[in-house]
Chains A and B, each alone.
Chain A
């Protein structure tokens, strides 16, 4: 997923070159919109994700933080950076508090992310809504909450002071092991991982490419509600989304150029050859999305 996102992100920016001729549209695109509040936040969890963007290079591992907002009936998970960047932009626009925003930036809170996935658990009821970005466009699809068929194992461990028990499942083309704490009676976890009788403290795939570890649990501060914004989001089925995502793998450069030219622009790299090499090489190195396939 990262693969596509990063490339398309790169594309998106080129793409915007063309859109400068349509300034109204491009300004309005991300910053304004209608929010719908789904739930109030009762508890916040933060997970560290250690992941390997290039499946062929174990040294490529990097980390990113994910947040999990737990409400009365729903839960929400997203990369913290992705959340903050979306939030700070819309808040700045709404309040006009540029100074506060700038001081945040000056303090180094520049949110940068490789994950743009927003996950709403139990919205709609017994389903999961996923909003994700490919290039400039936001898409949403739903899946069933009970799609993860967890198998409980007798093994127990202690992590961060919690007694946790092992559960396994397969999802997105990977085999996953989760460690959950029955003493925290919440059915949630990071990303789409949920549905165990206790908060997921750690979840990792058997190849060690993705590993989420709970860092902290806290009462809600700052973030008070779980909101969804579906304006300008394109509805799609899950397999359609993955097909779209994988389209990039075949010809990243070609897809890029198409999206530029489709908006009436023309674009030429100064050094066409190394641009192509860079685009394709970046795509090659980001070959290991969390969900390898749509199942």
Chain B
């Protein structure tokens, strides 16, 4: 039985259900009073008499809207609301229908919504760039934390990159203590001492240029937590066998006026820590190239050229390195910096070589054993004074280096055994001044460079070699070559830059003067009588080179796509070479033009192409000129009594690349063609004992080099792997003169290298790479020799936990008949709470102690066998001071 109330409830319920299911569709348009359609008008739907929004619509670009709703309400209130028009309401019955709104403009004062004033200026405060927010538990040095900061990358060499480009300066509290060698600070300063890291993007370190020359380079400044910070790190390691050690203590002190960093490092584990002192900035490298600052190495003992793998497999060292760096801020604009380094290293080299020399009539084979001791002692110092103001810029760097190095070696072959001793000390002092001054409207940059160096080298070979020449074919006790080389080098220039529409132009004028004095003599010890040889065994050689130049760089850039650069240097070269004793001399006066052109063009998003052409005229190395004989090593006697070498090289290169990141498919192709004309050819007379007499002969000749290389890589998502393939081919054709016969020597090098990188699981990943190299050499059209090398590298990484890892590295080398394989194991455990790392390294676990490789030249093949470090186990502990 239903009660009356029950029935009405039921009816109500059914009706209610019914209304719920019925859908109302409201369509309509919103227009303004000029009948223009209005978009972005909110149409809000409320049940009549309620404030509860139940549906809404927003008018589209054509002013239309459509609202679907389900509501039990009998009637609805529609409200049109927006910022620019007065709100309008319509009351309608809840049935599908068309609705039209006509709105009246009324710009509402938007500020009525403002709840707080704009704090854009303060926004920086809300961003945390504090070091503490980026540091993770396992981080120790500031370099570790830098790696975490978006935009910053730290290379293995210690070089810091921001947005991929090397930073220009590394400041601590605005002071650049280390110059380019900042790796020492960044790798050793505990991040807990650092308050903030500031990236100075587009930073112009030279204040006078700030408003004139935008810089794209970035510098980095770190600010410290305390007024005076003393800090540092230490690393201690020990291992077997024999007894191994690896220690590194780096204390530092920083204040806002005075900064000091020192370090002492010692190891005999094959870790060449002297690399830490290498200059890390591009400027330093360029400088070294422009001013010919390389150490002279006229004399030498035969060394084993290092094998092409990790240094710590073969470097038998005993290194001690100490350095101090101090910087004082004298006033706001004047700073003085000093850097002092001392290096002692004792390295041993052991190995065998087999030389196969193809003379026109014969093939000569020599098996030789080399056993060398190298002692390196060096003291280097650098004093820099900098004034950096809005009005001018001055930087003066005074540098000295003193090396007193010795090398001694035992050398034995199937024909002879001898020992050699080389003293090759080197002293140099140089001064470099850079200045920027306003001259009229423009800023002119002046550079001055002066250096002097002194190399009194001596090489003694006992018993003496070249018996035919020095002792009528009979053996004798000792042969000694002494040289005394002094070089003066100055370079002064002035330049400025200006813009012309899309062009920027930088002219520069300068004069460079180099003078070298080479004195040498040869002494023989025959039956305890020392005799100094005269005539063509003594050099009293002087060379002077004056290079006056005007160079202009033109740079044109259109949007991002096209860049054209032309470098147009014109120079006058005046060279005098003379040897008064022998009464030989020559003079050269040449005006040369060495243009370089470069075009870079991007097509669409993925393609890029580049072309370049360069011409270069070069006047021979004066170090290499001498009118009398010099014994450069026990088996090489050299004379260079020819006109100065003049070469003219053309190089052409083309590059095409396609980078399609959407498909993860990257490819590139490049081609380089190089033609070199020379007025000299070197004649090599190879004696039956393998010694060589080398003479420069005036005979114009041309060499050609072609190089093609290509690479492609693809990421395969289904295998979680990257596959890559690289290949290259190089062909060099060069005229050779061996034992009075000239011929075209042709060298070919072909390489092919596939690679894969696979991530099997979260905790296991691996990499494999193979390199196949094929070398061959032809004399005219007959093949002399070929060499095949196969290299395989693989590693497997296991991550059992976040604070641990385990790595297995394998390397395999197959050089013709010789196979070498190496396996290393490494385990690291991090005690994160105490910021201590413990490494256990077992290197070369199968104890393979020899390694073979090959070098091929147009008339010889050299096979080297190295003695490597034997298996070793080292435990290393690292912690902060």
Q: What is the interface of chain A, defined by CB distance below 8 A to chain B? A: 6, 9-10, 12-17, 19-20, 22, 24-34, 42-44, 65, 73, 80-81, 84, 89, 92-93, 96, 98-99, 101-102, 104-114, 122, 125-126, 134-137, 139, 152, 154, 156, 160-161, 165, 182, 184-187, 195-198, 215-219, 221-222, 231-234, 236, 240, 243-244, 247, 250-251, 253-255, 257-259, 261-264, 268-274, 276-278, 280-281, 284
A residues within 8 A CB of B722? 251, 254-255, 257-258
Q: A10 contacts B81, CB within 8 Å?
A: no
Q: Closest approach, in angstroms, between the C-beta of B438 and any C-beta of chain A?
A: 17
Does the CB pair A182–B44 fall under 8 Å? yes
Residues on B with beta carbons closer than 8 Å to the beta carbon of A215 = 116
Given A109-B124, A165-B53, A197-B58, A98:B214 Cβ within 8 A: yes
Residues of A near B156 (CB, < 8 A) are: 268-271
A154, B114: Cβ atoms closer than 8 Å: no
In the bound complex, do residue B757 and residue A152 qualify as a contact, i.e. CB atoms below 8 Å apart?
A: no
Complex: A128 Cα to B125 Cα, angstroms: 32
A-B contact pairs, 22 of them (CB 8 A): A13-B151, A14-B153, A16-B161, A17-B155, A24-B557, A25-B608, A42-B83, A44-B118, A126-B61, A135-B661, A139-B662, A182-B42, A182-B81, A187-B58, A231-B560, A247-B715, A251-B720, A253-B757, A254-B715, A254-B720, A262-B666, A274-B805
Partner-binding segment picked from B24-32, B163-171, B478-486: B163-171
Q: How far is the CB of B870 from chain A (nearest CB, A)?
A: 23
With a cutoff of 8 Å between Cβ atoms, the chain A residues found around residue B118 in the complex are 44, 216, 218-219, 221-222
Across the interface, do B600 and A273 meet the contact criterion of CB distance under 8 Å?
Answer: no
Is A13 in contact with B152, judged by CB distance below 8 angstroms?
A: yes
What chain B residues lie within 8 Å of A27 (beta carbons)?
A: 216
Do residues B662 and A152 form an inter-chain contact, with CB atoms below 8 A?
Answer: no
Q: Is B202 an interface residue (CB 8 A)?
A: yes
Contact A236 B662 (CB under 8 A): yes
Taking a contact as CB atoms under 8 Å apart, the answer to whether B164 and A16 are in contact is yes
Alpha-carbon separation in the docked complex, A161 to B611 (Å): 64
Report yes or no: B149 in contact with A24, Cβ–Cβ below 8 A.
no
Q: Contact: B53 with A152, CB < 8 Å? A: yes
The reply to whether B150 and A6 contact each other, CB–CB distance below 8 Å, is: yes
Pick from B196, B666, B717: contact of A263, CB below 8 A. Answer: B666
Distance, CA A247 to CA B40, complexed state (A): 38
Known: A14-B153, A105-B200, A126-B60. A218 touches B163 (CB 8 A): no
B contact residues around A80 at 8 Å (CB)? 123
A-side contacts of B720, CB under 8 Å: 250-251, 254
Q: A98-B214, A152-B56 are in contact. Are A187 and B40 (CB under 8 A)?
A: yes
Q: Which B193-234 residues sit within 8 Å CB-CB of chain A? A: 196, 198-204, 210-211, 214-216
Q: Does B56 contact A110, Cβ atoms closer than 8 Å?
A: no
Interface string of B746-767 (1 = CB under 8 A from A): 0000000001011100100100
Given A80-B123, A98-B214, A219-B114: A261 touches B199 (CB 8 Å cut-off): no
A-chain residues with CB within 8 Å of residue B706 when the two chains form the complex: none
B18 interface hit (Cβ, 8 Å) = no
A107 to B129, CA, bound (A): 11
Asked if residues A218 and B114 are in contact (CB atoms below 8 Å), the reply is yes
Is A112's CB under 8 angstroms from B127's CB? yes
A-contact 0/1 string along B24-68, CB 8 Å cutoff: 000000000000000110111000000011111110110000000
How far is the CB of A75 from the nearest CB of chain B, in Å?
10
Q: How far is the CA of A137 from the CA of B44 in the complex (A)?
A: 42
Write out the residue numbers on chain A whose beta carbons fall within 8 Å of the beta carbon of B87. 185
Most buried by A among B120, B155, B199, B602: B120
Contacting chain A: which of B371-379, B641-649, B794-802?
B794-802
The reply to whether A24 and B56 contact each other, CB–CB distance below 8 Å, is no
Of the candidates A43, A236, A277, which one forms a contact with B110 in the assembled complex, judged by CB atoms under 8 Å apart? A43
* Given A14-B164, A137-B605, A253-B759, 5 new contacts (CB under 8 A): A10-B147, A96-B211, A195-B58, A254-B759, A262-B713
Q: Quick check: B557 and A244 within 8 Å, CB to CB?
A: no
Nearest Cβ distance between residue B268 and chain A, in whole angstroms? 20
Q: Please, which residues of chain A bring their CB within 8 A of the CB of B203?
A: 98, 102
Is A81's CB under 8 angstroms from B127's CB?
yes
Contact A12 B54 (CB under 8 A): no
CB distance from A30 to the nearest CB of B (A): 8
Task: Kindly state the separation between the CA atoms of A78 and B506 in the bound complex, as whole angstroms.
Answer: 40
Contact, CB under 8 Å: B124 / A273: no
> Contact check: which of A10, A98, A186 meets B202 at CB < 8 Å?
A98
CB contacts (< 8 Å) of B52 on chain A: these are 154, 156
B560 lies within 8 A of A112 (CB): no
Given A13, A216, A270, which contacts B164 in the complex, CB threshold below 8 Å? A13
> Is B603 interfacial (CB-CB < 8 Å)?
no
CB distance from B197 to the nearest CB of A (A): 9
**Chain A residues whose CB sits within 8 angstroms of the CB of B664 once the complex forms:** 244, 247, 255, 258
Q: List the B side residues contacting A217 at CB < 8 Å.
A: 113-115
Interface band, chain B:
35 or more
Distance in angstroms from B356 CB to nearest chain A CB is 32
Count chain A CB atoms within 10 A of each CB in B196, B198, B210, B661 and give the residue with the most: B661
Question: Quick one: which of B58, B110, B198, B720 has the most chain A CB within 10 A?
Answer: B110
Contact partner of B666 (CB less than 8 A), chosen from A96, A234, A259, is A259
Q: Could you tell me which residues of chain B, from 555 to 570, have a CB within 8 Å of some CB in chain A?
A: 557, 559-560, 563, 565
Would you call B117 an interface residue if the criterion is a C-beta within 8 Å of the partner chain's C-beta atoms? yes
Bound form: Cα–Cα A107–B126 in Å: 12
Q: Which of B149, B151, B153, B602 makes the CB contact (< 8 A) with A25?
A: B602
| Residues in A whose Cβ lies below 8 Å from that of B713 | 258, 261-262
Q: Are A101 and B202 in contact (CB under 8 A)?
A: yes
A186 near B83 with CB under 8 A, answer: yes
Q: Which residue of the partner chain B has the closest CB to A222?
A: B120
B724 at the interface (CB under 8 A from A): yes
Q: With an 8 A cutoff between CB atoms, is B508 at the interface?
A: no
| Given known contacts A186-B83, A273-B807, A277-B799, A108 and B61 CB-to-CB distance under 8 angstroms | no
The answer to whether A108 and B129 touch across the interface, beta carbons within 8 angstroms, is yes
Residues of B within 8 A of A156 (CB): 52
B158 smallest CB distance to A (angstroms): 9
Q: Which of A33, A106, A197, A271 gathers most chain B CB within 10 Å?
A: A197
Contact A98 B161 (CB under 8 A): no
Bound complex: CA of A59 vs CA of B690, how far in Å?
Answer: 73
A255 to B664, CA, bound (A): 8
- Which residue from B565, B758, B797 sits with its C-beta under 8 Å from A273? B797
B residues near A136, Cβ cutoff 8 Å: 661
For residue A104, which residues in chain B have a CB less than 8 angstroms away from its CB?
124
**Chain A: which residue is nearest B796 at the CB level?**
A273
B-chain residues with CB within 8 Å of residue A182 when the two chains form the complex: 42, 44, 53, 81
Q: Nearest A residue to B116 by beta-carbon distance?
A: A216
Closest to A29 in B: B560
CA distance A85 to B512 in the complex (A): 45
Contact B124 A247 (CB under 8 A): no
Residues of B contacting A273 in the complex (Cβ-Cβ under 8 angstroms): 795, 797, 805, 807, 826, 828
Asked if B683 lies at the interface with its beta carbon under 8 angstroms from chain A, I say no
The residue on A at minimum CB distance from B663 is A244
Q: B802 to chain A: which residues have CB within 8 Å?
A: 281
Q: Name the 9 nearest CB pairs between A and B, nearest first.
A: A16-B164, A262-B666, A270-B156, A109-B124, A197-B42, A13-B153, A185-B81, A254-B757, A251-B759
What is the CA–CA distance of A161 and B758 in the complex, to the nearest angstrom?
A: 55
**Residue B721 at the chain A interface, CB threshold 8 Å:** yes
- Residues of chain B contacted by A33 (CB below 8 angstroms): 560
Q: Which residue of B lies closest to A156 (CB)?
A: B52
By a CB distance below 8 angstroms, the chain B residues around A232 are: 560, 605
**CB <8 Å contact, B56 and A197:** yes
Neighbour of A26 across the interface among B44, B127, B155, B164, CB < 8 A? B164
Chain B residues within an 8 Å CB radius of A20: 164-166
Complex Cα distance, B52 from A257, in Å, reads 57
Which residues of B have CB within 8 Å of A34?
559
**A43 to chain B: closest residue by CB:** B110
Shortest distance between the CB of B250 and any CB in chain A (Å): 17
Establish whether residues B115 and A161, one from each chain, have CB atoms under 8 Å apart when the complex forms: yes
In the bound assembly, the distance between CA atoms of A277 and B162 in angstroms comes to: 22
